[in-house]
Every structure is written in structure tokens, then in C-alpha cells.
Amino acid sequence: MRSLLAKAFHGLGSIFEKKMPRSLGGPQWFGPQASKAGRTPSPNELLAEIKSTAWTCASLNAQRCAAFPPKLYVTTTKAQATPKCPTRPLTKKAFQALRAHKDYSGRLATADRTEEVTSHPLLDLFRNVNPVHNAFDLWELTTLYQEVHGSAYWYLDMDFVLNIPSEIWIMPSQNMTPKRDPGSRNLVDYYEYRAGKEEQRFAPNQIIHFRYPDPKDPYLSGLSPLRACFEQVTASSEYSAFKVQKFKNHAIPDAILSPEESIGDEERARLEVDWANKLRRGGAGQVIVAEQKMRLDLMSHSMGDLAALADMKEVKEIIMNAFHVPVAFFSSYTNLANLMASRAAHAEQAIHPRLCRRDEKINEQLIPLYDPTGRLFVASDDPMPADATADQAKDQSDIIHGVKTINEVRSESGLPPVEWGHFPWMGIGKRQSDK
């Protein structure tokens, strides 16, 4: 068993040892790098802008992905032995949902039985990630770093007795860089982690690199939603900073008292103190009787203009579009139907692709350490919100028209059969066994 695991670990390292075409050894993008200040933002500059709308969108996507942790499954053919790890059979509904997943339909088609694994060292690893992080932290941070930088990195702390990871450590993406030696034809020769003056190198088989696709560099880089809308994010930040500074430094009084006759400095100071003492701290609305004839002018001033506010609304929508977050999530002028449709669109267009990309990377680089035969794989539940009303109506229709028996419907819901539920109904209040 240990020899198989050792071979699997060696095979994982060989993924990065395969030679690439020489033409891919250099930069893959020679176009303009213009961005804020006329240059591409650094990883730290990206991280500094994760606030306001960008933070809300990124954290929303990360939390939703973390709410769907991957489950471990095992397939078995007639020629294979029964799995040694504890398993449980899938309900018909769960199997159909898994089979509907295009990435796994081929794997399931060649198997005679598919079961969910309930106890396994990999599941233990996901539950006990490291002394600091739990499972939800692992999945949330993995997605969050990709939302900001386009890449997330796992460092696998190996147990070299068992040749499997004992801990997973999330490496801050702003400090990690894939490196290739000059003239090398390896995709990655090492990963460099640099924090200040400290530098550490990791072998490719120690790191799992999750990344979003980047057409400028499809092999090493990742293009994040934040980078895709960075100009709009910085514009929003600068506008917010402008409003704050204008509020702090506007130096415009609320009212001006103009005496009919000129008064000295001492009298002016006394009037200011008297008015301030009466009107401050809840004194607004009181009646003031002036000691002399004077004119009161109320000042009105705006902290922004309508054109700027309209521009900021458009910028906000561009940021939400980059993160695939529906505008209805941030609007108070939506109804329940629009909100439910937005939830479904968000699950389909944002969460589902992120889960697929995450699970496939685990199947590609982590699963072989535990199972070189290819029987094990991870998959996440479908994030699409269930329509309980529609499902219930379909079940009732299938029972009434004899398409399914009550026990078949119960089995799909994970419920045990009942004695009277084996026969199909042949009309209202009648079963086939009653005829």
C-alpha cells in the first residue's frame, strides 16, 4: 500500500517535469500593460482595493463556494474489489444529480456502482486542515484569493511515513510566484514565497496551484475578477475618499448672522458663543431672540452632484458584473421573483463553475496521493437552489398517474420503504393491489 502511495506521489511530481514546447518558455503577452498610474497593479495593490463593493462581491462568492464542500465518492466495477473505506449508497436523486454533472458522467457510465465515502484520511484532512484553519476557512480562503489575485496556493505538509499530507496551509497569494529557471523547459521549477526580505522556495509537488483562466498566460497566471475591473474599483475608492475629505474640509457654515451695524471682535465672539450654547446638543428648533437687528442667511451645500452619483452607480454595476454577482442582490427595489431568479443565475453562472474548477484541481493533484487507481473522486453538490414546490408537485403527479410507487418516491428522498407503498396507484384512492 505504501509503495503505491509513494508511486502516486512521485507521479504527481512528474506532472511538472514534463517538458513544454520551447516557445512557451518566455512571456506570452506583449500588449500594453496600462492600468492605474499607467502600469499593471501589483498583488499588494490588488489586495489594498478589496473593499466596498469589491469586497462584498468577493466575500459573497467565497462564502457561497465554502457552503458546498466537496464530497468523496468511489466507483466500483465488477472486476474490482469492494472498497475498503466505509461507504454509503447514493439515493436515486443524488445519483441522478451526480450523473447530470457533465464532468463525471463518463466516469459513472463505466462503473457498476457509485458510493459516497463516509470515512477516509482525505476527509480527515479536510476537517482538520491545520492548527489555525477549519474546513470552511479552507474553502472560503481558496476562493477568496482567486477572486482577488486569480490564484490560490496550498502547501502540502507531507507525512513522509504514510506519504500523504498531514496538513494543508493556505499561502498568501500576494507573496507567492511560480518561477522557471533560465532556459528551463519545465512549466514550473519552483514556487517562490517572498515576505519582506524573507524568501523560501517550494518544490512543485509541494504546492497545489488553483487559478482562474488568464488568456494572457494560460499556464502560470490567473486573471481575477478584481483585476478585470480594477480601474472601476479604484475610481470608486477615489470618489469615496474625495467625499470623506470634502466632508471633513468643506469649511462651509450652516448659517451666517449679519448685524445691521458693525460690531467689535468681542461682541462678535460673544454672539457666536451664545448661539452655539443654545443650539448645540439637541437645541435645534429653539427660539432665539436677537439683541439687535440682524439678518440670518441659511447656507445649503451639496456633498456631491447627480452626474457623479450616476457614474458611481454604473461603476458599481460594472464591478458586480465582473464578479458575476446579480445587481438585484444590492438593490432595495427588487421583488421576490427577481431575487429568486437572481439567486439561480448566480448559482449557475458564478458558483457552479468555481466549484467545478476547484474540484477538478483536487482530483488532478491531490486524489492521486490517496488512490492511484482512479476510483476515488470529489464532487460538490449542485448549488442551484431547489424548487421544493415543483419537486413535490412532480412526485404527486408521478404517484397519481402510476409512474412511480410511493416507495420509489420515498427512496429518492432517502426514506425507508413502507409496507403499503410497493404498488402503484391506479386512480384516486385506489392501488393496483386493491383491484
pLDDT surpasses 90 at 307? no
Identity of the highest mean pLDDT range in 29-43, 58-72, 325-339: 58-72
- Which pLDDT belongs to residue 26? 62
pLDDT category of residue 5 using cuts at 50, 70 and 90: very low
Alpha-carbon distance of 83 to 67, in angstroms, equals 28
* Mean pLDDT calculated for residue range 328-357: 89
- CA-CA distances (angstroms) from residue 81 to 74, 168, 212, 372, 377? 12, 31, 38, 15, 17
Question: Are the C-beta atoms of 275 and 289 separated by less than 8 Å?
Answer: no
pLDDT, tens digit, for every residue of 276-286?
A: 777 776 666 66
Nearest C-alpha neighbor of 213 from the set 124, 150, 276:
150
- Which pLDDT belongs to residue 358? 96
pLDDT category of residue 389 using cuts at 50, 70 and 90: low
Place of cell 520551447: 22
Q: Which of 10-14, 18-22, 368-372 has the lowest mean pLDDT?
A: 10-14
pLDDT surpasses 50 at 2? no
Nearest C-alpha neighbor of 54 from the set 187, 203, 240:
240
3-state secondary structure of 294: strand
pLDDT, tens digit, for every residue of 185-241?
A: 888 999 999 988 889 999 999 999 999 999 988 888 899 999 988 888 887 777 666
pLDDT category of residue 1 using cuts at 50, 70 and 90: very low
311 versus 31: which is more confidently predicted? 311
| Average pLDDT of the chain to the nearest whole number | 81
The fraction of the chain above a pLDDT of 70, given in percent, is 77
pLDDT, tens digit, for every residue of 78-92?
A: 888 889 899 998 877
Alpha-carbon distance of 225 to 165, in angstroms, equals 31
- Which pLDDT belongs to residue 397? 77
- Which pLDDT belongs to residue 322? 92
pLDDT, tens digit, for every residue of 118-131?
A: 999 999 999 999 99
pLDDT surpasses 90 at 363? yes
Q: Which residues contact 397 (CB under 8 A, 6 or more apart)?
A: 403
Task: Annotate 189-257 with DSSP letters as a single string.
Answer: SEEEEEETTEEEEE-GGGEEEEE---TT-TTT----HHHHTHHHHHHHHHHHHHHHHHHHH----SEEE
pLDDT surpasses 50 at 377? yes
- Which pLDDT belongs to residue 22? 65
pLDDT category of residue 103 using cuts at 50, 70 and 90: confident
- Which pLDDT belongs to residue 58? 95
- Which pLDDT belongs to residue 14? 47
Q: What angle do CA 416, 422, 426 make, to 5 degrees?
A: 135
- Which pLDDT belongs to residue 197? 85
Question: Are the C-beta atoms of 284 and 298 separated by less than 8 Å?
Answer: no
pLDDT category of residue 150 using cuts at 50, 70 and 90: very high
Question: Are the C-beta atoms of 94 and 386 separated by less than 8 Å?
Answer: no
pLDDT surpasses 80 at 20? no
pLDDT surpasses 80 at 49? yes
260 versus 62: which is more confidently predicted? 62
